[in-house]
A = this chain, B = another copy of it.
Amino acid sequence: MLSRPGLLQTLRRTFASTSTSTASSPSLIASLKQISPALLDQNPYELDRHGRGESFHPSLPPDAICHPRSAEEVKQIVKLCASTGTALVPFGAGTSLEGHVGNASPHITISTTKHFNKLVSVDPASLQCTVQPGITRHQLNHELRDTGLQFMVDPGADASIGGMAATNASGTSAVKFGVMRDNVLQVKVVTASGEEVTAGSRTFKNSAGYDLKNLFVGSEGTLGIITELTLRLHPIVDNIVSSVCAFENLTQACDAVVMLLSCGVPVAKCEVLDGPAIHAFNIFSKDVADMTPQPHLFVELQDISDGGLLSQQEMVEEILRDCGGSGIEFSADPAVRKKLWAARHATYYASCALRPGEGKGIVTDACVPLGKLASVIAATAKDVEESGVVGPVFGHAGDGNFHCILPVRDTDSDEYLKKLEDVNDRLISRTLAAGGTCTGEHGVGSGKAKYLDQQYGEGAVEIMRTIKKSMDPQNIFNPGKIIPNSEG
């Protein structure tokens, strides 16, 4: 009955019992144990957990999990897997939203958050630090708290820095502080030969040769295993205000964003939420505000001085009002701001909770040229409403990046799932027609691979395939991810 089986079949698989692991060579497992007895994990719960992220993609568990403590151990693991042609998948905090972790091939997972999660060094005068890949962003900022510096990239989840680099993640701070590619200065990576290479440099600028650093950042574990990252840090600024502002429609809200950026307002965060998203948000943030369920902008401003902050605030208020904003409220209270952004970060979970029952969310991740945001986001919200599905829309308006969360339940009918699939397909088509990308911050994984040809054309995808083949000729690193038909 359904012409496009992809997403629907995937969803059905998600709710089926998870696949059992296909045994990798017993001698490989024995050899991995040799590296260190504490290194290997075959606990069934952990195998299942390491086979999936947080979205609808089904668990594809590994045969075994390795918890290395050093680059030296990663090198040994890679060499062992290379010698047996066994696939290897890196795993951080398990917060992937596009089926990056787990693999349809029999594979070993390298899990980083248990033992490979240290802050290696901080160089405050150079505004940077060096970390192992398994450290999470909250853990990192906690450890940095006495330096006056912080790491700015903030996806919703408490992801690992290695995982964030692998997907070129970002979040609400990207509009001012950039994405992972802007904040990772250097990476060390164990490549297919089992050697560790250094890409990038510990400088803010670098024109020395091909940009291998940015090739590894965003490569989703398909070109090697990241073993160390040097990160750009930013000073903690105390003068901050957050504002919320309602609009009659999404077009007005997005036009206000264009106006803010065109006037050069250095917004620190700039988030849009549609009516249904505000409804979901309200449920998770009763102690922050009870907002009318209509489109809102959340704008955060920061400045080194009170005077500068006040000037920004005045200009923002004027722009928001000129663009039709109402009920504008500013708050400088750190407690209020903290709750506001905690609730905003939880919008994915809040959106999933709009539909009761056991389930997950399809998380779209469209990003369009800023001037196209109003039309694309408004058309998406309208499509969701007319299709009769639940799908709050919200996102990083200053970047032209938004998410439409489509919660799925194990009890959903084929008809409902087909509606979700169609909404998703039309969203991607609309995004690409506007010159956008199918993923602004989540990565391709197994979920978006089918759109790459459409987005870039065959030529660019063929170059990606060429690079993958030349750097991983055995196809051991997270096979089948990113590049359409690159598996096997």
A residues lining the B interface (CB < 8 Å): 123-128, 148-149, 167-170, 174-175, 178-179, 181-182, 191, 193, 195-199, 201-212, 214-215, 217-219, 223, 234-235, 237, 258, 261-266, 303-308, 310-312, 314-315, 365, 367-372, 396, 399-401, 435-444, 448, 451-452, 455-457, 459-461, 463-464, 466-471, 482-483
Contact = CB atoms under 8 A, between A and B. Distances in A.
B205 A441 contact: yes
B208 A219 contact: no
Contact of A215 (B210, B370, B448): B210
B262 A208 contact: no
Nearest to A368: B203
Given A204-B400, A207-B218, 20 more contacts: A125-B370, A126-B372, A168-B211, A174-B204, A191-B459, A202-B435, A203-B368, A203-B369, A205-B367, A205-B396, A207-B437, A210-B218, A210-B219, A211-B217, A234-B264, A235-B261, A303-B308, A308-B308, A467-B467, A470-B470
A463 B471 contact: yes
A452 B198 CA distance: 12
Contacts of A258: 125
A319 B190 CA distance: 43
Task: Give the 10 A-B residue pairs with the shortest CB-CB distance, closest first.
Answer: A125-B371, A197-B459, A305-B311, A126-B369, A308-B308, A126-B371, A307-B311, A470-B470, A214-B214, A235-B264
Nearest to A254: B125
Among A127, A212, A234, residue most surrounded by chain B Cβ atoms (within 10 Å): A212
Among A127, A205, A470, residue most surrounded by chain B Cβ atoms (within 10 Å): A205
B203 A169 contact: no
28 contacts: A124-B371, A149-B262, A170-B205, A174-B204, A174-B205, A202-B436, A203-B399, A203-B401, A203-B440, A205-B367, A205-B401, A206-B440, A207-B439, A207-B442, A208-B448, A209-B464, A210-B215, A210-B482, A211-B215, A212-B463, A235-B262, A303-B308, A305-B314, A308-B311, A463-B471, A466-B470, A469-B470, A470-B470
Nearest to A181: B211
Contacts of A168: 206-207, 211
Contacts of A182: 178, 182
A218 B203 CA distance: 16
Nearest to A98: B207
A223 B397 CA distance: 35
A210 B464 contact: yes
A84 B278 CA distance: 63
Given A215-B215, A307-B311, A311-B304, A203 B455 contact: no
A160 to B, nearest CB: 16
A136 B441 CA distance: 32
A262 B167 CA distance: 29
